[in-house]
Chains A and B, each alone.
Chain A
């Protein structure tokens, strides 16, 4: 299975076309280097303490909060991943992505002129053509989950073929899932080869590697899987499919950002981060941005390096922002649904 890859950059070529979301210098990956994570200690109680105190130590109020919530919208991969998705459903989602806030709210915030959109729209592969059509001219990238999402337990050649298909249909971002078995069995070479092959299959499309952290269980596994995915050339690492028992949590995200930092320190390559699953509230949007700013810095508060995979979060953000504009508490029935 691994013989078909010659390296993380195979097929991607040396020169990348400019990506809609930015981050001009893509991560080319490096050779598998287990020394970068073997024996890496991750103490869970300490990570949980840090995650808890991190969001208690920082807060944003008033117009700062409004700005941070607008920023969160810019970073949302507005997502629908349901069995009953249809073209019309996807079109509705895309309309919301184009205009995430009601005009009176955007204008009330002084953001009417900034052409605010979500970071991307994220759908199943067969929905990609519908999304591409619905987003035409908007500049909003279409992200597709692929590789046998969510479990990923399909033959590799079929998973790679799925990537090719989604890219051919116009997806410029591919959210792949890794084979959890490779992590649980510490089969790092297999994991590396798999992700590298997927990266090659993506071509110009950016690859987000979903680690399904809820199934990796330990934070050491999370760190190791993060590092292998980056070494294999992932542009983003992402927590969850949204289908695991436990999805994005702050402690897991903390460990993944530390892996980003360590990879950056070692290679100079900046990798993006995407928490996803179970993030529903405006408070979540603030908390994860605080995490990024504290652990990684301001650059990780932009869509080229930070995305939030969410569906219902946008509605809560819109309610909070309307309250900011009007001083009255808002009702979701007065806002367009996604």
Chain B
């Protein structure tokens, strides 16, 4: 026992190993390999591949490579189970979810140890963060199952959900996907990541133990091919994917035109902004909790540290000192801060990117890491926005540090990214912090904190970080749908515009020339051509007109920042001016062949509808989520940004108004392509717009071949969202073409919705016109 006196001189921590024998025994019992969990039972293991423990490189299990047949069997089982599952009273589904929550808690240590063995993350994190959040997620959604009829009246589940999840938080991502889907009455086929399938399989056993009806949850293991078979399966109604932006693009393309609902939670390169008046020590710990959490394998990790130049030296010094104290090693040791990198492939990627950064001139500061699949905590300084390290998602414990001068500079650097998942803002000045939180393009903003999660708050990104939210009311909404209108007769492809002189046009007292409307000014089309349309000639817009219109819309930055009240005033004024010219618009509609009654009804409805959205402009607001004590978690509705809107051919005035008004009421700027065959009802509107104090650039109108113009909008990297109401082929084209910047799209048959009735307006339009930003503000002095 002389040992104790030795320790008294070093005062080392010593080893603190977590006993993993129970889980090792379980793995031993499954030595023959795991099958899939389909229809409440495990299939025989077949075509197995090895699962390794990242910390040791040893094989710990073999799992089955899911074939197209396996996926098909799982989808069919889910389909059979879905009707009865959805038909259960919400209370009964709540009981099942409650049971899952309880069983997760009762198996908490088993799951934590298994997760750590399989993924390499420190046991402290799986034990204290992952698994408690899993249980919390099932509890929270047991609640939603109970309340669904009251809280989401009229909504119904999508049906069968196909879900593909990543390897960084294997069981937590399962919970994020499965809990809301099941609560809503969907059934699920889930494919865990090939590196980390084991907790999903253990969860399947737990679901069986807890008495979840067979077929409600199905787990199919395998690699990307299995995932593609699942997301491409025609029997899947909703696809949810969390993972890389690259694979997200493939799925967007694969599901285009299929009618499947889609949510994507993709990559990030999140800014971590430290102002001079911040608690620098707190911010240093924030970095530890961001990029040195889970080995930096965190999509929302604050990987780009932006620090005020005046405190950059001190902050860097503190950060380096803190980094030196981090321990890297055995994930099952309770004193380990960073565990193993999930797989040698990922380790190689991290190494390659850091070496590239070094070659580009970044200064690399590192802690230490043992031999094997480990990577030391790393800080790269001297990183400019042009550096690879500043733009590429590394998915490793590598932070970059860049100095900024002013708040405006910080925002510019923060938003200088393709991504928009999360941001962390450090300042003791509440005015500054909230100002930055509002300006940063991110779905989640943590003020004076980092990586806070709760089932009660929404999580999800802007830009190429994906779309859709998980958690909170907004996450629940993504698992539900309203009955979608179906066209009796689908919209037909309109005849191509003919730019040669027409045989005859209706007589006019004085000849009128319709123009494009861009940036608050009438503009001649770049092409120099016009084409004959009902009632006269319309300019033939082309891709350059779209470019100009998007630039004008992008420049109209003030509109989204105005108060809802101000926007409402403009909208009311628009209605007033349209009302004053109602007879003229009725005449225009009659010239398209409408009856006097129909024309009067369409104009009247358009005016009412403008009033409705004016009314909503200051009322469709956010929420304060109930998450952790002494935290305010704000869910703010923000405009999507610059939106393209391709209008249906029918209802040339009302279709335009029904789509453009909700968008601008919420603060978006719009590039609208009106009805291809009847564009003059829309171009007539710009004179009304001109007299209504609407700032230039908020509404831009480009007439011409709708699908060609919509394609330019879909491909435009500076367009944030695109609504397309037209043909099925056009909708598919828009979804496929939107992958460049993964813009949000909403595609529907132009003839499906009755624009004259209740379907033509409502909160659906406002929800689509906004994205939710969750801002976390811990408080206390």
B residues near A61, Cβ cutoff 8 Å: 14-16
Stretch at the interface among A17-25, A47-55, A157-165, A225-233: A47-55
A residues near B7, Cβ cutoff 8 Å: 63-64, 67-68
Closest to A109 in B: B4
Stretch at the interface among B281-289, B488-496, B613-621, B641-649: B281-289
Q: Are B780 and A45 in contact (CB under 8 A)?
A: yes
A6 within 8 A of B: no
A168 within 8 A of B: no
B335 within 8 A of A: yes
B residues near A136, Cβ cutoff 8 Å: none
A40 to chain B, nearest CB (A): 8
A62 to B7, CA, bound (A): 12
A225 to chain B, nearest CB (A): 16
B718 to chain A, nearest CB (A): 37
B residues near A219, Cβ cutoff 8 Å: 781
B residues near A71, Cβ cutoff 8 Å: 8, 11
Q: Are B781 and A59 in contact (CB under 8 A)?
A: no
Number of A-B contacts (CB under 8 A): 107
A311 to B353, CA, bound (A): 55
Given contacts A56-B124, A57-B335, A110-B1, contact A45 B449 (CB under 8 A): yes
Find B1's partner among A42, A57, A59, A109 (CB 8 Å cutoff): A109
A residues near B780, Cβ cutoff 8 Å: 44-45, 48
A39 within 8 A of B: yes
Find A58's partner among B4, B335, B449 (CB 8 Å cutoff): B335
Q: Are B277 and A110 in contact (CB under 8 A)?
A: no
A residues near B1, Cβ cutoff 8 Å: 63, 108-110
Q: Are A63 and B4 in contact (CB under 8 A)?
A: yes
Closest to A299 in B: B11
Q: Are A63 and B448 in contact (CB under 8 A)?
A: no
A residues near B334, Cβ cutoff 8 Å: 58-59
A residues near B29, Cβ cutoff 8 Å: none
B21 within 8 A of A: no
Q: Are B16 and A59 in contact (CB under 8 A)?
A: yes
B residues near A59, Cβ cutoff 8 Å: 13, 16, 334-335
A293 within 8 A of B: yes
Q: Are B335 and A44 in contact (CB under 8 A)?
A: no
A60 within 8 A of B: yes
A41 to B433, CA, bound (A): 14
The interface bits of chain A over 64-78 (1 if a CB of B lies within 8 angstroms of the residue's CB, else 0) are: 101110110000000
B residues near A298, Cβ cutoff 8 Å: 10-11
Q: Are B4 and A43 in contact (CB under 8 A)?
A: no
Q: Are A47 and B282 in contact (CB under 8 A)?
A: yes
A218 to B236, CA, bound (A): 56
A56 to B621, CA, bound (A): 39
B residues near A293, Cβ cutoff 8 Å: 11, 13
A294 within 8 A of B: yes
Count chain A CB atoms within 10 A of each CB in B7, B15, B286 and give the residue with the most.
Answer: B7
A63 to B10, CA, bound (A): 13
Q: Are B14 and A62 in contact (CB under 8 A)?
A: yes
Closest to B321 in A: A261
Q: Are B128 and A111 in contact (CB under 8 A)?
A: no
A15 within 8 A of B: no
Closest to B285 in A: A50
Q: Are A56 and B781 in contact (CB under 8 A)?
A: no
Q: Are B448 and A60 in contact (CB under 8 A)?
A: no
B209 within 8 A of A: no
B residues near A301, Cβ cutoff 8 Å: 11
A294 to B323, CA, bound (A): 11
Given contacts A58-B13, A109-B4, A110-B1, contact A44 B781 (CB under 8 A): yes
A residues near B428, Cβ cutoff 8 Å: 41, 43
Find A43's partner among B5, B325, B448, B631 (CB 8 Å cutoff): B448
Q: Are B285 and A41 in contact (CB under 8 A)?
A: no
Closest to A54 in B: B285
B778 within 8 A of A: yes
A62 to chain B, nearest CB (A): 7
A206 to B709, CA, bound (A): 82
Q: Are A45 and B779 in contact (CB under 8 A)?
A: yes
Interface residues of B in 343-391 (CB under 8 A from A): none
Given contacts A111-B4, A218-B781, contact A42 B11 (CB under 8 A): no
A58 to B333, CA, bound (A): 10
Q: Are A110 and B16 in contact (CB under 8 A)?
A: no
Q: Are B277 and A46 in contact (CB under 8 A)?
A: no
Closest to B282 in A: A46
Find A56's partner among B8, B128, B278 (CB 8 Å cutoff): B128
B295 to chain A, nearest CB (A): 15
A67 to B282, CA, bound (A): 31
B residues near A243, Cβ cutoff 8 Å: none
22 A–B contact pairs at CB < 8 A? A41-B279, A45-B449, A45-B780, A46-B285, A46-B449, A47-B282, A57-B335, A59-B334, A59-B335, A63-B1, A63-B14, A64-B13, A66-B4, A68-B11, A71-B11, A110-B2, A110-B3, A111-B4, A218-B781, A293-B11, A294-B325, A298-B10
Ordered nearest first, which 9 A-B pairs have the shortest CB separation? Answer: A110-B1, A64-B14, A46-B282, A45-B778, A67-B7, A43-B279, A41-B279, A41-B428, A44-B780
Residues in A lying within 8 Å of B, measured CB to CB: 39, 41-50, 53, 56-64, 66-68, 70-71, 108-111, 114, 218-220, 258, 289, 293-294, 298, 301
